[in-house]
Amino acid sequence: MADTCFLGQGFSTLVGLLLLPFGSLAASQIEVTVENFLRVLTGRIPSSTPRSKRLLSDDRSNILIYMTGHGGNGFLKFQDSEEITNIELADAFEQMWQKRRYNELLFIIDTCQGASMYERFYSPNIMALASSQVGEDSLSHQPDPAIGVHLMDRYTFYVLEFLEEINPASQTNMNDLFQVCPKSLCVSTPGHRTDLFQRDPKNVLITDFFGSVRKVEITTETISLQPDSGIMESSYKKDLMDEELMEPLKYAEQLPVAQIIHQKPKLKDWHPPGGFILGLWALIIMVFFKTYGIKHMKFIF
Amino acid sequence: MAAPGAAATDLEVVRGKRAALFFAAVVIVLGLPLWWKTTETYRAPLPYSQISGLNSLQLRLMVPVTVVFTQESVPLDDQEKLPFTVVHEREIPLKYKLKIKCRFQKAYRRALDHEEEALSLGSIQEAETMFAEPSEQAEGSLTVYVISEHSSLLPQDMMSYIGPKRMAVVRGIMHREAFNIIGRRVIQVAQAMSLTEDVLAAALADHLPEDKWSSDKRRPLKSSLGYEITFSLLNPDPKSHDVHWDIEGAVRRYVQPFLNALRAVGNFSVDSQILYYAVLGVNPRFDPASSSYYLAAHSLPHVINPVESRLGSSAASLYPVLNFLLYVPELAHSPLYIQDKDGAPVATNAFHSPRWGGIMVYNVDPKAYNGSELPVRVKVDMVRVMEVFLAQLRLLFGIAQPQLPPKCLFSGPKSEGIMSWELDRLLWARSVENLATATTTLTSLAQLLGKISNIVIKDDVASEVYRAVAAVQKAAEELASGHLASAFVASQEAVTSSERAFFDPSLLHLLYFPDDQKFAIYIPLFLPMAVPILLSLFKIFLETRKSWKKPEKID
């Protein structure tokens, strides 16, 4: 499930639950790597990245980060080939704080030994929730009888059930979220960390993070403009004339496929031999000298 | 026979010892430093001392004011003293690490003939047209004309006048302390037109501790190199309303002059779109008393997000986007009014959200429905719409109402919608904000490099940092000498360079390796080499100790 950690939807065995819609960064599976994740958080992306793949937050944004998948003591698995450690995550949050890329941050993690992931945070205004303590495993919810695999984890299931009852005007606070999924239901002990957060959790509304509520003001003043009626007629006529005089469209050169197919392979740059080759040759030379004897080498070997 | 053999083995042993010592020496003297140097992260040198020096930078904002005295404004013996210069400086009390001092440099002089003529006309408007731009005044500077106490240029009860083009008029006085009294009045007027504490507090709002979140301070957009303004027409019910709006003409006539006046602040690009079947996310309620529909004030915050995803702002440029939406409600929900928190309908029927944009609801004239079949043709009155949108644009940029001195006549903005000295105030605020941001970015970068040890600093990142530091210092110098335009440009360059250095993609911290993994990598490489060397050294040491002890035994 780590590969879909950017999208905002979850599935369960019941008919699909609807989450409150919040802005999402769309990312396809090949792009979900540790490096890309850290780049999105810290903002260190190449300038060619489009707006939809950037985290355009400023010092007044509240950010929600939800991670789930397989994990262990101090790490989380990404796409079965990489890991992200708790220290890297803590450093990424510190860099976000230094550049004021968040106002408040809520971090929810649902993996085995999830509490180890938030132990190393040291930046202010972070609240963290985890599904299990260090040494415990997070378990999954019941399997889907049609497919035969487990589709959801227990902690996530109960959190989603809790969030279903929240509407944009709700006054539920974070203390209620901490009570979700006690040990009797979840088998593991959920944990939370609020010492870095400046506000008291009971004053923090769920909708601060889940609701996308914006600050608005009523506009009470206007400026006075003088209507200019003379120019209007001429501009209308000009638009009509523009439409008639449009030239036939020209199309750009299509891809020169013939040239590409017959391309010669590029000469690769020469690199000096790597460590393995050097070590192998060093071994061979040592054996050679040992056999044919340089006598004072005997003292060493 | 034993002696030469023993001597030969002795020689061999000595040679062996020397070889072992040489090996050990090479490893320790050459190998260890080489390994250390090649495995450390590359850091190009940065001006850390200069960066920490930026924190104690003292900003001096100078406003050059020219005070022109007409003939009867002050007593004769005072007039003899002209021309001379007076400086008035005071510190702005803000809880911020940069000290800011505000300095008004008043150059007093006598009026020239054409100025005397203009100021003796009947009304202030005529005088202003006489002054029509012989030379455009530099940004940041002001001119104050002192007229006689009984002049009829201003209405009798008004002591001063602030005009739209960096010009003000103040009444003189025939008194011994004339210059002091007039000096104070001039300062009051000049402060209203340039720098007061609230302008700087609003600029530095992000950097000051939050003791009070007044809405004025939270509203302005962050300073940026350019802005993208999008006008959208939302028509949720095209079957009933066939809406036409002449947006191109309106932009050309009303918005473009405003943006041209703001040209110094950044690059603006304007686009527009029409969205069909786009509804607001909130259901309006019916009010039987006025038989109309209304949106209550507490439901307004939930309107924006459902609509934002349809606006296509993600396809726009990388500059911050300001969205202005014009919503024509459906026939079933017409007419639709916005209510403020007291339940009264809002006159403009519009609301705005800081750093995002504004929404206005445009109700179709009920007379248009008479007798015609659906869809009804609706022609939007662009003047009314643009009045509201430009007012919202002003608020979003942070151009607020100035604090006027008492008994001051104030003429509103001219046709562009913004006065020249309002632009100056914006430039002052933006320059200070840019300098604060650049300083914070550079300091944060230096702190980060101290805290996280595995970040690489390449040479081009280092050169950006040097450029940013130089630009901050230049901007501070230009502000102190009163050149607002060049100071603003330098401050923008400082922000761009520092952001580019901080957000360079190469600064991503290298992956962290826990200590046990580091051991696991190095031990197979170094242990086979180190064990023979260490063992041989140990052997040499033991033998040397034995040979020292031997002479003692014999003795």
| A293 torsion bin: left (phi>0), alpha (psi -120 to 50), beta (else) | left
Please indicate if any CB of chain A lies within 8 Å of the CB of B206: yes
pLDDT band of residue A59 (cuts 50, 70, 90) is confident
Rounded to the nearest 5 degrees, what angle is found at the Cα of B496, between the Cα atoms of B492 and B502? 145
Element (H, E) at A218: strand A217-218
- Which pLDDT value is given to residue A265? 66
Counting runs of H as helices and runs of E as strands, what totals does chain A give?
A: 9, 8
Nearest-angstrom CA–CA distance, A116 and A36: 22
Highest mean pLDDT among A55-69, A99-113, B150-164, B408-422: A99-113
- Which pLDDT value is given to residue A3? 33
Element (H, E) at A234: helix A230-244
- Of A222-226, A229-233, B230-234, B443-447, which gets the smallest average pLDDT? A229-233
Q: Please give, rounded to a whole number of angstroms, the shortest distance from the CA of A152 to a CA of chain B.
A: 28
Contacts with A52 (C-beta within 8 Å, 6 or more apart), sequence order: A25, A26, B314
B460 contacts B501 by C-beta, under 8 angstroms: no
Contacts with B503 (C-beta within 8 Å, 6 or more apart), sequence order: A42, A43, A44, A45, A99
Q: Please give, rounded to a whole number of angstroms, the shortest distance from the CA of B291 to a CA of chain A.
A: 22
For A245, which DSSP code?
T
Please indicate if any CB of chain A lies within 8 Å of the CB of B328: no
Please indicate if any CB of chain A lies within 8 Å of the CB of B216: no
Gyration radius (Cα) of chain B, Å: 37
Nearest-angstrom CA–CA distance, B112 and B35: 78
The two tokens of residue B325 are: 């939406």
Q: How far is CA B172 from the centre of its chain?
A: 39
- Which pLDDT value is given to residue B142? 83
A134 contacts A177 by C-beta, under 8 angstroms: no
Q: Roughly how many angstroms between the first and final C-alpha of chain B, as a whole number?
A: 29
Residue of chain A whose Cα is closest to the Cα of B512: A88
Please indicate if any CB of chain A lies within 8 Å of the CB of B177: no
Would you list the DSSP string of B314-378? Answer: GGS-SS-EEEEEEE---GGG-SEEEB-TTSPBPSS-EEEETTTEEEEE-PPPGGGGSSPPSSEEE
Nearest-angstrom CA–CA distance, A54 and B277: 28
Q: Is residue B179 classed as helix, strand or coil in its secondary structure?
A: helix
Instruction: Give pLDDT tens digits for A122-164.
Output: 999 999 999 999 988 888 887 888 888 888 888 988 998 898 8
Q: Within a 13 Å sphere around the CA of B90, how many CA atoms are in the beta-carbon half?
A: 9
The two tokens of residue B167 are: 């010009």
Residue of chain A whose Cα is closest to the Cα of B444: A98
B498 contacts B441 by C-beta, under 8 angstroms: yes
Instruction: Give pLDDT tens digits for A17-33.
Output: 223 323 345 555 667 88
Per-residue pLDDT of chain B (555 residues; tens, 9 = 90+): 555 666 778 888 888 888 888 988 998 899 889 988 888 878 888 888 888 888 888 888 888 888 888 877 777 777 777 778 888 888 877 767 777 888 888 888 888 887 787 777 777 777 777 665 545 567 778 888 888 777 777 777 777 888 777 888 888 777 777 788 888 888 888 888 887 777 777 777 777 665 544 555 566 788 888 899 999 999 988 888 888 999 999 999 889 988 988 888 888 999 999 999 888 888 888 888 888 899 888 888 888 888 887 887 766 677 888 999 999 998 888 889 998 888 888 888 999 988 889 999 999 888 888 777 777 888 899 999 999 999 899 888 888 777 777 777 777 666 677 788 888 888 888 898 899 889 989 998 898 888 877 788 889 999 999 999 999 999 999 988 888 889 999 999 999 999 999 888 888 766 667 777 788 888 888 888 888 888 888 888 898 899 888 776 665
Q: Which of A42, A75, A219 to mutate to test binding with chain B, by most B CBs within 10 Å of its CB?
A: A219
Say if the Cβ atoms of B502 and A99 lie within 8 Å. Answer: yes
Q: Is residue B293 classed as helix, strand or coil in its secondary structure?
A: strand
Q: Within a 13 Å sphere around the CA of A46, how many CA atoms are in the beta-carbon half?
A: 4
Q: Which of B230, B452, B540 to mutate to test binding with chain A, by most A CBs within 10 Å of its CB?
A: B452
Q: Residue A113's closest CA among A137, A78, A83?
A: A137
Would you list the DSSP string of B112-137? Answer: PHHHHHHHTSSSHHHHHHHT--SSPP
Rounded to the nearest 5 degrees, what angle is found at the Cα of B324, between the Cα atoms of B323 and B326? 140
Q: Is residue B297 classed as helix, strand or coil in its secondary structure?
A: helix
A174 contacts A201 by C-beta, under 8 angstroms: yes
Please indicate if any CB of chain A lies within 8 Å of the CB of B392: yes
B243 contacts B362 by C-beta, under 8 angstroms: no
The two tokens of residue B289 are: 């008393």
Instruction: Give pLDDT tens digits for A167-190.
Output: 877 888 889 898 888 888 888 889
Task: Catalogue the active-site residues of A.
Answer: 70, 112
Q: Please give, rounded to a whole number of angstroms, the shortest distance from the CA of B443 to a CA of chain A.
A: 9
Q: Residue B117's closest CA among B79, B76, B68, B80?
A: B68
Q: Tokens 């957009």, residue?
A: B221
What is the value of ipTM here, to two decimals? 0.76
A286 contacts B6 by C-beta, under 8 angstroms: no
Q: Where are the alpha helices (DSSP H) in A103-229?
A: 154-164, 174-178, 183-186, 207-210
Which residues numbered 229-268 in B keep a CB inside 8 Å of some CB on A? 246, 248-249, 252-254
Does residue A204 surpass a pLDDT of 70?
yes
Would you list the DSSP string of B487-543? Answer: HHHHHHHHHHHHHHHHT-GGGSPPPP--HHHHHHHHHHHHHHHHHHHHHHHHHHHHH
Say if the Cβ atoms of B504 and A52 lie within 8 Å. Answer: no
- Chain B residues within an 8 Å CB radius of A35: 508
Domains (range + CATH), chain B: 60-202+408-414 (no CATH), 226-397 (3.40.390)
Does residue A293 surpass a pLDDT of 60?
yes
Q: Where are the alpha helices (DSSP H) in B194-267?
A: 197-203, 215-218, 247-250, 256-261
- Which pLDDT value is given to residue A244? 46
Q: In this complex, which of A169, A224, A232 lies closest to B387 when CB atoms are compared?
A: A224
Does residue A248 surpass a pLDDT of 70?
no
- Which pLDDT value is given to residue B398? 81
Q: Please give, rounded to a whole number of angstroms, the shortest distance from the CA of A221 to a CA of chain B.
A: 7
Long-range contacts of B429-432 (CB under 8 A, 24+ apart): B429/B199, B429/B200, B429/B202, B429/B203, B429/B220, B429/B398, B430/B203, B430/B223, B430/B265, B430/B488, B430/B491, B431/B475, B431/B479, B431/B484, B431/B487, B431/B488, B431/B491, B432/B59, B432/B61, B432/B100, B432/B200, B432/B203, B432/B204
Between B160 and A94, name the one with better pLDDT: A94
Residue B147 β-bridge partners? B171
Say if the Cβ atoms of A88 and B417 lie within 8 Å. Answer: no
Residue of chain A whose Cα is closest to the Cα of B451: A91
Contacts with B61 (C-beta within 8 Å, 6 or more apart), sequence order: B100, B101, B102, B103, B195, B428, B432, B479, B480
